[in-house]
Amino acid sequence: MNKLSIVGAGMVGEAAAQIIAREELCRELTLIDVQGELAKGKALDVWQAAVESGSDTRVHGGADAQLLHDSELVVITAGVPRKPGQSRQDVLSINLPIIDGIMRDINQHAPTATVLVVSNPVDVLTYRAWSLSKLGRNKVFGQAGVLDTARMKCFIAEETGFSARDITALVLGGHGDSMVPLMRYCAVSSVPLSHFLSNEQIERIVQRTRQGGGEILGLKKMGSACDAPGVAIAQMVDAIAHWRNSILPTVAILEGEYGRTGIAMGVPCVLAGEGIERVIELSLDAQEQAMFDQSADQVARDIAEMNALVGGGA
- Continuous segment of H or E residues that includes residue 132: helix 122-132
> Is 25 strand, coil or helix?
coil
> Is 122 strand, coil or helix?
helix
- 193 burial (CB, 10 Å; 0-12 / 13-18 / 19+) is buried
CA dihedral 268, 272, 278, 279 (to 10 degrees): 10
Amino acid at the residue 210: R
User: Which candidate, 259, 297, 300, 250, places its Cα nearest to that of 277?
Assistant: 250
User: Which candidate, 170, 169, 110, 177, places its Cα nearest to that of 140?
Assistant: 110
Distance from C-alpha of 123 to C-alpha of 89, rounded to nearest angstrom: 10
User: Which candidate, 279, 292, 223, places its Cα nearest to that of 251?
Assistant: 279
Tell me if residue 195 is catalytic. Answer: no
Give me the catalytic one of 60, 69, 109, 175: 175
Per the CB < 8 A criterion, the answer to whether 264 and 124 are in contact is yes
Per the CB < 8 A criterion, the answer to whether 109 and 62 are in contact is no
Length reported for the chain: 314
Q: How many CA atoms lie within 13 A of 310 on its CB side?
A: 21
Backbone angles phi, psi at 182, to 5 degrees: -90, 90
Close Cβ partners of 67 (under 8 Å, ≥ 6 residues apart): 5, 30, 32, 60
Q: List active site positions.
A: 175
